[in-house]
Structure formats: structure tokens, C-alpha cells
Chain A
Amino acid sequence: MNYETVLTTCTYCGCGCGLLLEVLDGEVVGTLPQKDHVINEGGACIKGWNAHEFIYHEGRLKHPLIRKDNSFKEASWEEALEVVVTCLKKIKEENGPDSIAGLTSARCTNEENYVFQKWMRAVIGTNNVDHCARL
């Protein structure tokens, strides 16, 4: 028998509410807003209260998918990245860096988001970067 609550930060928007994930026998079974968090002080919105639900959602992507003949096929990371590199290079060469935009995610850490915008600017060469949490 094992039950603990794990401190984490909500991944839904830019507020950064402190959450506790309830873990019962290795399975995430619920979310509680963290009482002593400076941002949310024990409250959360409806998304935060249900932040654990996507974890086991059947629609969750667990592998890269590549579109072939109008349907998605499971692929390895090597194959997937190869497609991304080839396509981005081609678009950049043909239409210039500003024909590419990057949209990053609140599900990543601050550091990952930093690296992403840096990569868009320094490698791709565009300022077209945004983030899904800019609500």
C-alpha cells in the first residue's frame, strides 16, 4: 500500500500554480491545489483540478507519427526528426526563414521553452515564436 502526493507545477497556462499529484500504488489518481504555493494559495481553476486526467488518456501521443498516404504511421524518433529536418531545410531554402513559425507548449519546462525560442531565432533565423499558454 502506497500513497503519496507529489509537488509539481500546473502545465496548463502561464500562471504556474502549485499542484499536488496524488499517487496511489504507482498510479496518478487525482490533483490537489498546493496550499502553501505563492501563486495559487490552495486554489486552482477547473483545468488545474483535473490536470492528472491526460496522463492515462487514450488519445495521448506516446510515439512520433509520420503522415504517409494520408494516414499517420508510428515512427522512430530518428525517422521523425529526419523528416522534420529535411522539410524545414527545404522550406527555409525556398521561401526564407520567416516562412516558418514555431509554437511551443506549456507542457514543457521554462528551460525547454527558452531553448526552443533560441533555436528558432539562431538556427531557423526567425522571430516567429509563440506559446500556447499566452491566454
Chain B
Amino acid sequence: MDKTREKMKRMLEEKEVSAILALRRNHGHPTPFLFTKAEELKDWVADEANRYPLTKLLIKIARKHQSDVIGIIVRGCEERSLVELLKNFQLRQGKVKAIGIACSQELANRCRCDQPFPSQVEEGQVAKPATDFSDLEEIEKLTEEDRFQYWMSQFGKCIKCYGCRNICPACFCPTCTLEDANLIKPGGMPPEIPIFHLHKAYHMADRCIDCGLCEEACPMGIPVRRLYRRVKKSVKDLFGYIPGEKEDEKGPLEFLGDGSYELPGAGK
């Protein structure tokens, strides 16, 4: 990653950016860090085993330092999440500079990733898409009753840590539906199911960029990504919309009602 490190160094030295958000080796552990000086970059790591929601962490930094242009190292999914955050006004156009890095084939396979690379990559081999929806296909083979049972037993394990929401780089509302007592009864464990998980799924339908961080963060091993992949698929089938793809295209669930989206008809 020497070329990328050089580029980061140049950007900092030439003041193209005030700082760069990336991972740094910290007592041997890759952890998020904001690089402000070129000499700090010796500790930068493009670690693949420890993915943190860097784009989401950038929101609070950028909100406090609104006049600064901040660089950020992005993988394919992180670039897609940047697109979602920009179009939903969580980050400001022109104030973020993405530096793309490609994922290894091993990581792409592990993530079952459609597009394991951002739009621009400085160096290295770009991995082949590792598209794999067998998790969905498997569950869709079940009868409706069995499928419902499957999900209810999964949701029943939930300890309401909100980790799937907190880690999600496409989730950002300051007032969250999942904590709205009128919609989801508070105080219980597990939370009210299936409504707790369905609310999150509905909200992710036109925002989820399928990075899989939610499932990684779930301490109870609930396959939440599978659920979000399903709603994402519905949005694609119904509206031809893919979150994270185009910056100038609004999510259909936000736009319904003003005529800009026509339902192409059931089943298409």
C-alpha cells in the first residue's frame, strides 16, 4: 500500500485535506484514527480483518469541523455508504475526499460482495465480485410458516444492544424509530418482535449498502444482514433502485408520493 500511503502523505503536506480518517496500528490493534501529520502515516494500516464504520465516524468529526476538507480511506462498501450519507445530508459535498482501496479476493469472498472495490483505486489488484445470495435463496425455499418460525426464533435471541443500528454506516437519524415508545414497546427483553427488526429492515430498504457490519456486530449471531438483503432486493425489483450507486438519485421510500417513481407493477 506504499502508493496509497504516498498519496495520503502528499494530500496532507499539500493541505489538500486537513486530515485523513483511516485505521492505525494502535498497540498492535487496527483502530480508527484521524491522521493530521504526514509522519503519523507510518502507523496506517489497510487492515482487512477489522472493519470499522469509518464513514459513520466521520459524521461527528465533520460536524464539528465544518470548514475543513477531510480525507477518508474507503473500500467499495464504504464509498457506497459515503454516497448515502452525502445524499442524506449527513456529510457535505466537497468537504470529503475519498481515497479508494481495493479489497482482496479473500475479503470479497468472506463478505459475499457484489463490488469489492471503489470507483477509483490507487494500487493493487481488484478482486472479482463474489456475489452470493445463497443465504436468501435457502430461506426463501421454506414455507411461509417455517420462514416465520425461523425469523421469530432468531429475533427471540435479541438482547436489544442496538449494535446493528449503531455500527451501520447508512443509519444516522438522531431520533431513532427503534427507541420510539409509541411504535415499539420499551422495557422488554427481547424487544417487541418481530416489529423491532422489521422497523430497522424497512428503514434500511433503500439505504443498505450490504456491507455486513451489522451481522458482524450482533452479539447474538442473528443473521440480520439476510433480512436487509431481502428488503433491498424488493426495492431493486420494484423501483430499480440500488442504494449507494448514484449520488443524484434519491431513495424511493423517501420520494414516494411526488410522482417521481412509478410502480412498474407487481412481480416485475
Q: Is B73 an interface residue (CB 8 A)?
A: no
| The stretch of B101-109, B147-155, B214-222, B247-255 that contacts the partner chain | B214-222
Q: Is A1 an interface residue (CB 8 A)?
A: yes
Report A109-128 CB contacts with B as 1/0, cut-off 8 Å.
00000000000000000000
Q: Is B239 an interface residue (CB 8 A)?
A: no
Please, which residues of chain B bring their CB within 8 A of the CB of A135?
Answer: none
Known contacts A43-B163, A45-B159; is A1 also within 8 Å of B18 by CB?
A: yes
Q: Is the CB of A1 within 8 A of B219?
A: no
Interface set, chain A 1-43, CB cutoff 8 A to B: 1-5, 7, 20, 22, 24-25, 29-30, 32-36, 40, 42-43
| Distance A35 CA – B49 CA, assembled complex (angstroms) | 8
Nearest Cβ on chain B to A6's Cβ, whole angstroms: 8
Nearest Cβ on chain B to A9's Cβ, whole angstroms: 13
**Closest B residue, CB atoms, query A31:** B166
Report B23-34 CB contacts with A as 1/0, cut-off 8 Å.
000110111111
Known contacts A3-B21, A42-B216; is A24 also within 8 Å of B60 by CB?
A: yes
Q: Is B195 an interface residue (CB 8 A)?
A: no
Q: Is B234 an interface residue (CB 8 A)?
A: no
B36, B65, B163, B218 — which one has the most chain A CB atoms within 10 A of its CB? B163
Q: Is the CB of A43 within 8 A of B217?
A: yes
Q: Is B50 an interface residue (CB 8 A)?
A: yes
Nearest Cβ on chain B to A3's Cβ, whole angstroms: 4
**Closest B residue, CB atoms, query A20:** B31
Q: Is A106 an interface residue (CB 8 A)?
A: no
Q: Is the CB of A33 within 8 A of B163?
A: yes
Q: Is the CB of A49 within 8 A of B34?
A: no
Q: Which 9 A-B pairs have the closest CB atoms?
A: A43-B219, A3-B34, A35-B50, A5-B31, A46-B161, A5-B32, A45-B161, A36-B50, A3-B61
